[in-house]
């Protein structure tokens, strides 16, 4: 393969990975939102939609029936509800197959492109977020722009166009008001967001996100002790204040409660997406969640070390790949799976006592236990040692000695970013179901009268501190 | 219009939002953890679990029979007169068994219009109509089927086994005999 095609494939792979990263977390978040809301409000939440599995002995007959074009009728042996995760699948099917209504009174062209803009912008923003340092010399980032942070700020301001166009082209009072509110709100909070980010690039000396993460992978020097790979921006006083300001502005930018006035259903029906249905609505819906993911990813990158694994920098991971694999394989992963199985089994409880003995839903806990036992057996038989041997063999075969270490590092880095993103998104969901929506004047007051001055003062203090430290200690 | 003054001036921590928001978040998180561990909800898992209805619950109407099997209603027209929703349609006729008596040749209640006020039950001089079935799943695929006929209302309780304290479960596929037939019941 020529140089060009290798590069081309690498670019494609990076793009696909970053889009897949965001789009795969979206359904998980929708589930998390519904389940989290339910648990906060003392409800069981989604737990009905099942996948009915036939008896394995019955499969040949069913295959025959499918071949012969007969209807697929079987008595399920186990009915999996997976704590409501199946609802997300049914939601997608529902949204994709619903009637797509285009009202007569809309401004067609802008109305059609508005949801596309909203979705595209939120996916594009992820392009500058690094999800790992390097794999065999390939940067794990779609594009390592020198002005990475500026790109993020620019795209978030573009994001308002999706909502504004939707609100205006819907030719409807409620939508227009929603669009207006959204643009006013985004313009106001962009200022404190940008000023909060200024603190980060004062500290890192660069606006490139990969440089910012590298800075945070340095050891945190406390004077008497240096903690490795924990030089997180949020652990310094000015950085922490900047993080708070950035995070609150991120809520406003993603239109999440307590700042979700653009869609305030109590007064605006549905706000800017009132007129949308079917998949166009789904695009707005997914864009909201994609925005949450991107906002969490950017916050994690700026303030919490991005892809950096706490206490382990890239070189340490590569040097101790075997130990880390063993710890993960025999400690962390089994512990997590066991926890998940227990949670999934508990989730079936509220129903249990009322179901008839032959009800397939009764078998769900047994299924999870069986799956867990099977996984444990496979782990004991082949498991981590096999994986490590395989990795070593692969490295020798491809004569790339650093392949094993790089792969482990890449997996750890991506999971670390993923974990930080999920924590961020959970905090957004958690706040949404805790804090009531603000009134419009309160929102503007908070943005202009409190956050903007605090952010400004913070920038000056941080700059002063950095210069002072430079003068004193360097 | 001036906004009403709050009774209490906010302290510094209260007016800075952050502490109060964190308190609120601690409260909601305690609920999440409690529910995650206990899975103990008040929610009634509806088709599998049914809420016990009180004795006074007004469900779907039924028509009662005399001990000899004839229908109690004498087509006195009290209930259509009192019905505020105007949804009862009775066609009166002569009772073939006892020509001195009137009886309803047809007795239809349009359940789409009924407001479940129970006036028909109160008005009836013969205790011929009651709403004590506790049936609340009154539904159909078309408007015609939402008009309950005499045959349906007479047979409504047949084959339904009320479990102690629970509401009846109407499964339309197991509808009482004569649900669709015109007048299979002896008048
Ligand atoms: S319950 Fe009220 S509305 Fe319904 S049929 Fe009886 S009188 Fe009419
Ligand atoms: S149900 Fe009662 S009130 Fe109605 S017509 Fe018959 S006897 Fe009269």
- Cis peptide bond prior to B98, omega within 30° of 0: no
Residue with tokens 């492109």: A113
Note whether B49 contacts A354, CB cutoff 8 Å: yes
- What residues pair up with A78 in beta bridges, in sequence order? A53
Closest CA to B19 of A440, A435, A247, A459: A435
What integer is the mean pLDDT of A287-302? 88
Report the gap between the CA of A39 and the closest CA in chain B (Å). Answer: 5
Quick check: helix, strand or coil at residue B107?
A: strand
Percent of chain B with pLDDT strictly greater than 70:
80
Distance of CA A181 to the CA centre of its chain: 26
Q: Mean pLDDT in chain B?
A: 77
Q: Got the DSSP string for A401-434?
A: TTHHHHHHHHHHHHHHHHHHHHHHHHHHHHHHTT
- Per-residue pLDDT, B89: 93
What integer is the mean pLDDT of A394-408? 73
Q: For A32, which residue in chain B has the nearest alpha carbon? A: B32
B118 lines ligand 1 (CB under 6 A): yes
Which ligand has the shortest distance to the CA of B66?
A: 2
CB of A382 within 8 Å of a chain B CB? The answer is no
Confidence of residue A353 (pLDDT cuts 50, 70, 90): low
d(Cα A302, Cα A233) in Å, to the nearest integer?
7
Cβ A189 vs Cβ A145: under 8 Å: no
Cβ A54 vs Cβ A159: under 8 Å: no
Tens digits of residue pLDDT in A406-422: 778 888 888 888 889 99
Q: Mean pLDDT in chain A?
A: 82
Confidence of residue B162 (pLDDT cuts 50, 70, 90): very low
User: What's the token pair of residue A36?
Assistant: 């989290």
Within 8 A of B19 by CB-CB distance, chain A residues are none
Q: Quick check: B183 pLDDT over 50?
A: no
- Per-residue pLDDT, B84: 94
Note whether B24 contacts A346, CB cutoff 8 Å: no
Within 8 A of A84 by CB-CB distance, chain B residues are none
Count of A–B CB contacts within 8 Å?
51
CB of A349 within 8 Å of a chain B CB? The answer is yes
CB of A353 within 8 Å of a chain B CB? The answer is no
Nearest residue, CB atoms, A44 vs list B28, B32, B41: B41
- Per-residue pLDDT, B177: 39
Helix (H) or strand (E) holding A134: strand A134-135
Q: Got the DSSP string for A220-286?
A: EE-SS-EETT---GGGSHHHHHHHHHHHHHHHHHTT-TTS-GGG-HHHHTTGGGTT--HHHHHHHHH
Report the gap between the CA of B102 and the closest CA in chain A (Å). Answer: 48
Would the CA dihedral through A245, A248, A250, A252 be positive or negative?
negative
Which ligand has the shortest distance to the CA of B138?
A: 1
What integer is the mean pLDDT of B128-148? 84
- What residues pair up with A355 in beta bridges, in sequence order? none
CB of A346 within 8 Å of a chain B CB? The answer is yes
Within 8 A of B21 by CB-CB distance, chain A residues are 431, 434-435
Domains delineated in chain B:
62-174 (3.30.70.3270)
Cβ A316 vs Cβ A228: under 8 Å: yes
CB of B6 within 8 Å of a chain A CB? The answer is no
Beta-carbon contacts of A99 under 8 Å, excluding residues fewer than 6 positions away, are A277, A278
Percent of chain B with pLDDT strictly greater than 90:
21
CB of A40 within 8 Å of a chain B CB? The answer is yes
- Per-residue pLDDT, B176: 40
Tens digits of residue pLDDT in B77-104: 999 999 999 999 999 988 877 777 888 8
What integer is the mean pLDDT of A331-346? 81
- What residues pair up with A437 in beta bridges, in sequence order? none
CB of A426 within 8 Å of a chain B CB? The answer is no
Centroid of ligand 2 to alpha carbon of B99 (angstroms): 18
Report the gap between the CA of B171 and the closest CA in chain A (Å). Answer: 17
- Per-residue pLDDT, B124: 92
Within 8 A of A343 by CB-CB distance, chain B residues are 36
Within 8 A of B36 by CB-CB distance, chain A residues are 39, 343, 346
What integer is the mean pLDDT of A346-357? 69
Confidence of residue A338 (pLDDT cuts 50, 70, 90): confident
A395 versus A171: the higher-pLDDT residue is A171
Note whether A44 contacts B40, CB cutoff 8 Å: no
Nearest protein Cα to ligand 2, atom 3: B124
Beta-carbon contacts of A446 under 8 Å, excluding residues fewer than 6 positions away, are A438
Instruction: Tell which atom from ligand 1 comes closest to the C-alpha of B85.
Output: 3
Cβ A154 vs Cβ A193: under 8 Å: no
B87 lines ligand 1 (CB under 6 A): yes
A348 versus A160: the higher-pLDDT residue is A160
Instruction: Tell which atom from ligand 1 comes closest to the C-alpha of B129.
Output: 6
What integer is the mean pLDDT of A256-275? 76
- Per-residue pLDDT, A352: 64
Q: Quick check: A279 pLDDT over 80?
A: yes
What integer is the mean pLDDT of A448-457? 89
Residue B20 main-chain phi, psi, to 5 deg: -65, -40
Within 8 A of A349 by CB-CB distance, chain B residues are 39
- Per-residue pLDDT, A351: 64
Confidence of residue A358 (pLDDT cuts 50, 70, 90): confident
* Range from A2-16, A437-451, B40-54 carrying the lowest mean pLDDT: B40-54
Note whether A434 contacts B49, CB cutoff 8 Å: no
Tens digits of residue pLDDT in A128-159: 888 877 777 777 777 777 888 888 888 888 88
Q: For A435, which residue in chain B has the nearest alpha carbon? A: B21
- Per-residue pLDDT, B173: 39
């Amino acid at each position: 393969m020529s140089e060009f095609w290798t590069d081309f494939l690498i670019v494609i792979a990076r793009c696909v990975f970053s889009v897949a990263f965001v789009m795969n977390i979206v359904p998980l978040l929708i589930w998390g939102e519904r389940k989290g809301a339910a648990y906060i409000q003392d409800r069981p939440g989604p737990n009905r939609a099942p996948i009915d599995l036939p008896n394995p002995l019955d499969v040949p007959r069913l295959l025959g029936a499918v071949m012969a074009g007969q209807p697929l009728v079987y008595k399920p042996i186990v009915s999996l509800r997976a704590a409501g995760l199946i609802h997300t699948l049914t939601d997608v099917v529902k949204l994709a197959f619903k009637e797509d209504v285009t009202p007569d009174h809309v401004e067609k062209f802008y109305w059609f492109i508005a949801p596309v803009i909203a979705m595209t912008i939120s996916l594009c923003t992820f392009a500058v977020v690094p999800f790992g340092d390097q794999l065999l010399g390939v940067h794990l980032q779609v594009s390592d722009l020198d002005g990475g942070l500026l790109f993020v700020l620019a795209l978030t301001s573009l994001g308002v166009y999706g909502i504004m166009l939707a609100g205006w082209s819907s030719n409807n009072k409620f939508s227009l008001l929603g669009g207006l509110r959204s643009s006013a709100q985004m313009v106001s909070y962009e200022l404190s967001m940008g000023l909060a980010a200024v603190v980060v690039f004062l500290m890192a000396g660069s606006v490139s996100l990969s440089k910012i993460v590298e800075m945070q992978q340095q050891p945190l020097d406390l004077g008497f002790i240096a903690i490795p790979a924990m030089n997180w921006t949020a652990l310094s006083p000015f950085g922490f204040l900047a993080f708070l300001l950035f995070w609150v502005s991120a809520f406003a930018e993603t239109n999440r409660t307590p700042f979700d006035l653009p869609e305030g259903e109590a007064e605006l029906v549905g706000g800017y997406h009132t007129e949308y249905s079917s998949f166009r609505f789904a695009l707005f819906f997914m864009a909201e969640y994609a925005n949450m993911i991107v906002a969490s990813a950017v916050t994690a990158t700026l303030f919490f070390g991005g892809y950096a694994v706490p206490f382990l920098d890239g070189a340490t991971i590569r040097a101790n790949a075997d130990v880390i694999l063993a710890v993960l394989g025999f400690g962390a992963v089994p512990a997590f799976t066991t926890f998940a199985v227990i949670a999934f089994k508990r989730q079936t409880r509220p129903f249990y006592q009322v179901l008839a003995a032959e009800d397939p839903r009764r078998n769900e806990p047994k299924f999870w236990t069986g799956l867990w036992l099977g996984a444990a057996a496979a782990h004991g038989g082949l498991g981590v040692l096999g994986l490590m041997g395989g990795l070593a063999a692969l490295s020798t075969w491809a004569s790339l000695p650093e392949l094993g270490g790089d792969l482990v590092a890449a997996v750890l880095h991506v999971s670390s970013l993923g974990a930080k993103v999920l924590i961020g998104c959970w905090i957004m969901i958690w706040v949404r179901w805790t804090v009531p929506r603000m009134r419009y004047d309160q929102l503007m007051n908070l943005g202009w009268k409190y956050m903007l001055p605090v952010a400004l003062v913070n920038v000056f203090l941080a700059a002063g501190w950095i210069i002072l430290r430079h003068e004193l200690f360097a | 219009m001036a906004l009403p003054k709050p009774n209490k001036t906010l302290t510094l921590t209260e007016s800075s939002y952050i502490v109060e928001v964190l308190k609120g978040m601690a409260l909601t998180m305690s609920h999440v953890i409690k529910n995650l561990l206990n899975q103990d909800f008040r929610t009634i898992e509806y088709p599998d679990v049914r809420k016990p209805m009180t004795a006074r619950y007004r469900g779907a109407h039924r028509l009662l029979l005399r001990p000899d099997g004839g229908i109690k209603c004498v087509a006195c027209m009290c209930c259509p007169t009192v019905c505020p929703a105007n949804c009862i349609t009775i066609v009166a006729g002569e009772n073939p068994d006892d020509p001195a008596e009137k009886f309803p040749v047809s007795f239809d209640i349009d359940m789409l219009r009924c407001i479940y006020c129970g006036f028909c039950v109160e008005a009836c001089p013969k205790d011929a109509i009651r709403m004590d079935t506790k049936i609340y799943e009154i539904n159909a695929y078309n408007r015609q089927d939402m008009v309950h006929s005499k045959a349906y209302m007479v047979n409504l309780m047949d084959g339904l086994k009320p479990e102690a304290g629970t509401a009846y479960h109407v499964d339309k596929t197991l509808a009482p005999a004569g649900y669709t037939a015109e007048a299979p019941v002896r008048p």
